[in-house]
Structure 1
Amino acid sequence: MPLADHLRELRNRLAKAMLAIIVMTIVAAFYNKQLMDFLAAPVPKCEGSGVGATTGGECANIVFNKLLSPFTTTVKVTLMAGIVLSCPVWLYQLWAFVAPGLHKSEKKYTYVFVAVAVPLFASGAYLAYLIMPVSMKLLLSITPDTASNILELDDVLDFSVRMVLIFGTAFELPLLLIMLNFAGMVTGRRMAGWWRGVVMGVFVFGAIATPTTDPFGMLALAVPIVILYFIAVGIAMLNDRRRARNDLDAELDDDEASALDLTPVAVGEIEPLPAARALPEQAGGDGSRSQRLNGYDDIT
C-alpha cells in the first residue's frame, strides 16, 4: 500500500477505537457512583463518627476538599472505565492494522502471547485488589490515637489504579522473557543463571514500586513474580531442547564453527556436480550474437 493509504487506514482504525471508548465512557457515566464505591471499598471507613473526630488508625473518612473535585473525579473514573471496557475493540483495531504485515507463524505466536498476557494482567490486578485492604490498614495503623485520617477520594482512586497497574504490568515480566527466548535472543540456561539477581531485583522492585511501602505488599508482589519467573525458565529450557532437536547448530555462538562430518566416503558414492549452465545469448544490434554477463551484454 502507498504511504497515503497506510495513513488513511490508521486514521480509520483510530477513529473506530476512539468511538468505542467514547460510547463505553458514556455508558460508565450512568454507573459512576457504583464504580467509585468499588474502587474506594478497600479503605476501612469510619461509621458513626464525624469528620475530624478522633479515630486513630482504625478507619478513615473519605471527603472532597475542592468544589470541582466531585466532577473531575467522576470524569476520571468514567474515562478509565471506558478505556478498560472498550479494550477488546481498540485492541482489535490495533491488531487489524498490524496483522497484514506479519507472517503466518508470527500471527500464530501473537495469538498465543495475547491469550496468555490477558489472564496474567487480570491475575495481577485481582491480587492487587485483594491485598489493598490489608495494606491500607497497615498504613492507617501508624496514625496516633489522638488523630484522625481524612482522605480525598481522588487520592484513594489514584492509589487503587496505581496498585492495579503495577501488579498487572509486573505479572507480564515472565511472558516477556519467554518472548525473548522464542525470538532466539536469550537461552533458558542463561535465564537460569540469572536467578539470584532476578530474585533480588524483584524484591527490590516490589519494595519500591508498591505505593504501600509495607512488607506485606512487597511479598505479595515479589513472590508470585519469582514463581512465574522459574516457570518461564522451565518453558524456555523446553523450547531450547525442541530447537536443538530440529537444528543442531542452533546453540552455537556466532563465532563458533559447527562440527564437520569427516566420515570417509567411497568414490562411487560421490554425486557428480551438475554441468555449468551457459550464459544466455542475445542478438546484437548488428545481427551478431553476444552473451550477457551480470545482467549486461559484453557490448555495454
Structure 2
Amino acid sequence: MSSALDADTRRQLGETTATARAMLRAAQKDLQKVFIVFLIGFIGTFYALRLYIWEFLYDVTKSRMADDVGESFEVIAQTPFDVILLQAKIGLIIGIILALPAFLYFARDALRTRGWWPQTPVARWKIAVIGLFAAGLFAGGAAYGYRVFFPVMFGFLAGFGFDAGLNPSYSIVLWTEFIVLLTISFGLAAQMPLAITGLSYAEIVPYETFRDKWRYAVLGMFVFGAFFSPPDPFTQIMWAAPLIVLYGLSLYLAKVVVTAKRGSERIDIPGAARRHWNSLAGLIVGGFGAVYAFYTYGGVDAVNGLLSRQLAVGPWTIATSYRLLPAGAGLGVAPDVAIGLYGGLLSLTLVLVGLAYFVYAELDADVIETNLGDPTAIDLSELDAAGIRAAPPEAFVDLEEDEAMAMASQALEADDPEKARAIVDRFDETEAEREAAAEAAAEEEGDLGDRAERAGDSFLSEFTDGETDTDDIGGYYTDIVFILGALRSRSFRLVVTFLAAMVATFMAFYVGGLGVVRENFLSRMPPQLVDETTLEIITLHPVEAILFIVKVSVLIGVLAVLPMAAYYAWPALKELGAVRGHQRVVFLWVGSLTAGLLGGFALGYFYIAPAVISYLVADATAAKMLITYRVNDFFWLIIFTTAGIGLLADLPILMVLLNNAGVPYRAMRSRWREVTIALLTVGALLTPADITTMFLVTVPLMAAYGVGLLVLFIITAGGRRDLAPPAEIVS
C-alpha cells in the first residue's frame, strides 16, 4: 500500500522519522535523567492511587447521591488484577507525561537544527509565568469537575439508573477511566484563555476571528462535550455553560493583549488607578456593603432555604448537600471580623475587575489616538502629488476603486492633474500587488488540495485497480456516489425525520420508559425467578444506561428514515437499472415490512422472550448462582428476542419485495458474501461492543436470509420466472 501515498506524503513521513531519530540521538546521554523523572511519576502515582485517590474519587462520586441510591452504590473489580493493573496503567501514563518535557528539553539541539525550537532565547521567567498560568487553568478546570460537575452528574446518572431498577455497581476500570477522561477534558478546555490569547497575540489567528465566529465556537463546545460527557441534555448544559463563560473571558483577555500590542504596549495600571480612584473606591464600599447586608438582613437563611429544595431533573431529584454557615463559623473568628474579611475579599475582586476594565478602555482610546502615526490612517486627500508618491503602501491597502476615482476627480476639479495621476498610479500598483498575493495564496491552496486529491485518488486506484464495472468495488463506489447525489436535495427532510424519531425515542426512555420496559417484561416471568435477591441488573459504567438508550434511539431513527430514503432514491436506482416500477411501490414495502415487524415483535414479546430469559435465569438459579446482568446485555437480549424476531421476519419479506422490483433470485443468491459483510457491519455498530453478541445477531440474520432464498426458490421456480423482469444492473 506504500504506492497509495504520493511523493509529498512519503517525504513528510520520512522527515518526521528522521527528526525522531535525531531527537533520540541528541538526548541519548541524558536518557537516564528522563527515566528517573518517569520513574518518579510512575511510582508516585501508583502509591497515591492506593493511599489517597481511590477514597477521594469514591467520596466525590457518592457525595450528591440520594440516600437509597448511595446505599446501593459500589465499585467492583471484575478480575483479580483490575486494581493493580489500573494503578500501573495510570502511573505509566503520568510518568510519560512528566518525562516528555524533560525529553524535549534534552533533545532541543535536534529541534533547533530543524527550526522546531525558538532560535531567540526566551526569558525563563516568561516560560515560568506561562507554565504556572497553564497549570492554574488546568487545576481550575479540574476543580470545577470535582466540586460541581462530577457530584451532580454521578448523582443524576446513578439516580436515573436506580429509578429504572438498575443498581450502580461500577467497574473500577471503567469508572476510573471515565473520571480521568473527563478530568483531562476539563483541564484542556480550561486552557482556552491561554490558547486564544496566545494565538491572537502572535497573530496566528486574529482576535477578530474569535470575536466574529463565536457562534461556531459555541456549537463546537457542545459537539466537544458530546464526545467527552454523558449524552444527556442536563450534563451537556453543565459542560457547555462554563466553557461559554470561559470563552467570553478569553475574548476579553485577548482583546486587552492585542490592543496593548497594537497600542505600542502602553499599559499604565497605576495611572489608570489614579484617574479612576473614585470609581474604585465606590467598588470597595459596595463590596463591604453587600457582604454586610447579606449577613445582617437574612441572606444566609434565604440561600439555605433554596438549597434545601432538591434539584429536579425530569422525574428525578438530586439532593443538595451545600449549606452556608453563619459568618465566622468554621474559621474561629468573631462574626464582625469574618464579615470584614469576606467584604475585603469581595472588594478586592471588584477592584481587580474594575481596574481591568479601565485599563482596557484606555488602551482602546490609545489606539484611536495613535492612529495618527498609523500608515493606514493617512488622509490621502490632504496630500499633494509628491506626498501621494511618497506615502507607504499600507495607506492604499484598504482603498476601494470608487474612493480612488473620487479623490482623483477632486484633484482634477482642483486643477491638479499631477495628483490625480499619482493617485491612479498608486492605486493600480497596490491592486496589482494585491492580485499577485491572492494568486499566490490560491496557488498554494490549490497545491495542497491537489496533494490531498492525488493521495485520495491513488489510494482509491490501489483499492479498486482503476475498475468501474458494476462487479468491481470501483463500480459500487460510482453507483453509491450517484445515489447519494439523488438524496442530497432531500437531505434536510431526511435529517429532520431521523432527528425527530431519535429524540422522541430517547425522551420516551429518558423520562421513565426504561424502567417501565423492565418492570413490564419481568412481570411476564415466573415471580420466583425475578426476586431482587436472585436477579439483579447492574450498570458497570456510569453512562451505560444512557448509551444504551442512545443506541436504540439511533436504530429507531435509521428505521424511520429508511422508507423516505428508498422513496427519494428510487428514481436514481431506476435510472441505474437496479429496480423497476414506480416509486409508489415503496408504500407497499413500508406496509409489508411494518406488518412483518409488528407480527414478529408480538410473537417475541408474548412467547419467545419470556421463555428464553426464564430458562436462562432458571438454569443459573438451579446452579445456586447470584445473577447480575449488565444493563446492555439484559436489554439487548430483550430487543433481540422481541423486535429482533420482527426484523428476522422482515428479511424474507424484503427479499420478495426486491424480487418484485427487479432484483432476480440468482443475483441475491450469488451476492451472499456482500450481504454477510453488510450484516456484520450493522451488528458491529448497533450491538454491544463484543464479538460474541455481534455473531449472535449476524447468524440469525444470515439464517433468515437463507429462508428468504428458499422462499424465492419456491416462488420463482429456482429463478426461472422471477416476479418481475430482472433490472439491467443486476441481470
TM-score range, shorter chain: 0.5 to 0.7
Give yes or no for the alignment of 1:170 onto 2:189: yes
Do residues 159 (structure 1) and 178 (structure 2) align? yes
**What residue number does 1:94 align with?**
104
Comparing 179-188 and 28-37, the one that deviates more: 28-37
Secondary structure in structure 2 of the residue aligned to 1:43: helix
Equivalent in 395, 408, 412 of residue 259 of structure 1 = 395
Which residue identity is paired with 1:258? E
Q: Residue 75 and residue 105 in structure 1: after superposition, are their counterparts in 2 closer, same or farther (change >3 A)?
A: closer
Worse-matched range after superposition: 9-18 or 182-191: 9-18
Q: Which residue in 1 is equivalent to 2:88?
A: 75
CA-CA distance at 1:28 after TM superposition:
4.1
Question: What secondary structure sits across from 2:75 in the alignment?
Answer: strand
Structure 1 pair 224–143 and aligned structure 2 pair: CA distance change class (3 A): closer
Give the counterpart of 1:202 among 218, 221, 227: 221
What's 1:18 paired with? 35
The equivalent position to 1:127 in structure 2, one of 132, 138, 144, is: 144
Q: Give the deviation of 1:65 after TM superposition.
A: 1.4
- Cα deviation, 1:4-57, whole Å, max 9, x if unaligned, reads 986433234444222222134234444442232223333329xxxxxxxxx668
CA–CA distance in structure 1, aligned partners of residues 238 and 81 of structure 2: 36
C-alpha separation in 2, matches of 1:26 and 1:112: 28
Q: Which has the larger helix fraction?
A: 2
CA contact (8 A) 2:138 2:188 kept: yes
Match of 2:257 in 1: 239
**Structure 1 residue matching 2:374: 3-state secondary structure:** coil
Distance in 1 separating the partners of 2:223 and 2:22: 48
Task: Give the counterpart letter for 1:119 in structure 2.
Answer: G
2:168 equivalent to 1:42: no
Letter in 1 for 2:108: V
When normalised by structure 1's length, the TM-score is: 0.66
Q: Is the 8 A contact 1:210 1:218 kept in 2?
A: no
Q: What is the Cα deviation at residue 223 of structure 1?
A: 2.6
Q: Secondary structure at the match of 1:104?
A: coil
Partner of 1:62, secondary structure, is: strand
Cα drift, residue 83 of structure 1: 5.3
- Please tell me whether the aligned partners of residues 59 and 140 of structure 1 are also in contact (alpha carbons under 8 angstroms): no
* 3-state SS in 2 of match to 1:228: helix
Q: Which moved more, 1:30-39 or 1:65-74?
A: 30-39
**Alpha-carbon deviations, 1:162-185, whole Å to 9, x = none?**
110110111113322212112112
Identity of aligned residues (%): 22
Tell me the SS of whatever aligns to 1:142. helix
Give 1:231 shift: 2.5
8 Å contact kept, 1:62–1:152: yes
Q: C-alpha deviations, 1:80-120, integer Å up to 9, x for none?
A: 55457xx3x65355345438742135867544432321111
Shift of 1:68: 2.4
Q: Quick one: structure 1 residues 30 and 188, their matched pair in 2 at CA, closer, same or farther if it must change by over 3 Å?
A: closer
Matched, 1:183 2:202: yes
CA contact (8 A) 2:162 2:168 kept: no
Structure-2 residue corresponding to 1:281: none
Q: Is the 8 A contact 1:57 1:148 kept in 2?
A: no
Q: Which has the higher contact order (CA 8 A, sep 6+)?
A: 1
Report what 2:121 is aligned to.
Answer: 104
* Residue 66 of structure 1: how far off its partner (Å): 1.5
CA contact (8 A) 2:134 2:191 kept: yes
Shift of the 79–40 alpha-carbon distance from structure 1 to 2, 3 Å rule, reads farther
Whole-angstrom distance in 2 between the partners of 1:158 and 1:105: 37
Equivalent residue in structure 2 for 1:225, among 228, 236, 243? 243
Q: Is the partner of 2:62 in helix, strand or coil?
A: coil
Give me the whole-angstrom Cα distance separating, in 1, the residues matched to 2:138 and 2:375: 36
Q: CA separation of 1:77/1:205 partners in 2, compared to 1, >3 Å: closer, same or farther?
A: closer
Partner of 1:275: none
Provide the C-alpha distance between the structure 2 equivalents of 1:125 and 1:10, rounded to a whole number of angstroms. 33
Equivalent residue letter for 1:151: Y
Classify 1:65/1:175 alpha carbon distance in 2 versus 1 (closer, same or farther; 3 Å): same
Q: What letter matches 2:184 in structure 1? A: L
Cα distance, 1:158 vs structure 2: 0.5
Does residue 150 (structure 1) correspond to residue 276 (structure 2)? The answer is no
Q: 2:154 pairs with 120, 126, 136, which one?
A: 136
Structure 1 unmatched ranges of 5 or more: 46-54, 261-300
Distance 1:11 1:224, change over 3 A: farther
CA distance in 2, matches of 1:250, 1:228: 33
- Aligned-pair CA distance for 1:191: 2.0
Larger Rg: 2
> For 1:268-289, what per-residue CA distance to the aligned partner results, in whole angstroms no more than 9, with x for missing partners?
xxxxxxxxxxxxxxxxxxxxxx
Structure 2 CA distance for aligned equivalents of residues 57 and 78 of structure 1? 29
Is the 1:20–1:90 contact (alpha carbons within 8 Å) kept by the matching residues of 2? Answer: no
> Structure 1 residues 14 and 249 mapped into 2: Cα distance closer, same or farther (>3 Å)?
farther
Distance in 2, Cα, partners of 1:41 & 1:30? 18
CA contact (8 A) 1:57 1:141 kept: no
Q: Distance in 2 between matches of 1:164 and 1:58?
A: 26
Distance 1:106 1:248 in 2: 30
How far does the alpha carbon of each residue in 1:187-221 deviate from its partner, in whole angstroms, 9 at most, with x for none? 22332111222223223323x03333344533343
Q: Secondary structure at the match of 1:185?
A: coil
Alignment equivalent of 1:192, drawn from 211, 214, 217:
211
Asked if the contact 2:153/2:235 (under 8 Å) is kept, the reply is yes
Contact in 1 for aligned 2:27/2:106 (Cα 8 Å):
no
Cα distance, 1:159 vs structure 2: 1.0
Name the amino acid aligned to 2:78.
N
Deviation of the 1:160 alpha carbon: 0.9
CA contact (8 A) 2:229 2:239 kept: no
Alignment root-mean-square deviation, CA: 3.5
Partner of 1:66 in structure 2? 79
**Which amino acid in structure 2 is aligned with residue 61 of structure 1?**
E
CA distance in 2, matches of 1:56, 1:62: 13
- Write the letter of the residue equivalent to 2:133: V
Aligned to 2:3: none
Residues paired across the two proteins, number:
241
CA distance in 2, matches of 1:26, 1:56: 35
Code of the residue aligned with 1:150 in structure 2: it is: S
Rounded to whole Å, the distance in 2 between the matches of 1:28 and 1:59 is: 29
Whether the 8 Å contact between 1:63 and 1:153 is mirrored in structure 2 is: yes
Please state how far the C-alpha of 1:132 moved relative to its aligned partner.
1.0
The answer on whether the counterparts of 2:76 and 2:169 sit within 8 Å (CA) in structure 1 is yes
Q: Distance in 1 between matches of 2:22 and 2:229?
A: 45
The separation in 2 between residues aligned to 1:250 and 1:105, in whole angstroms, is 32
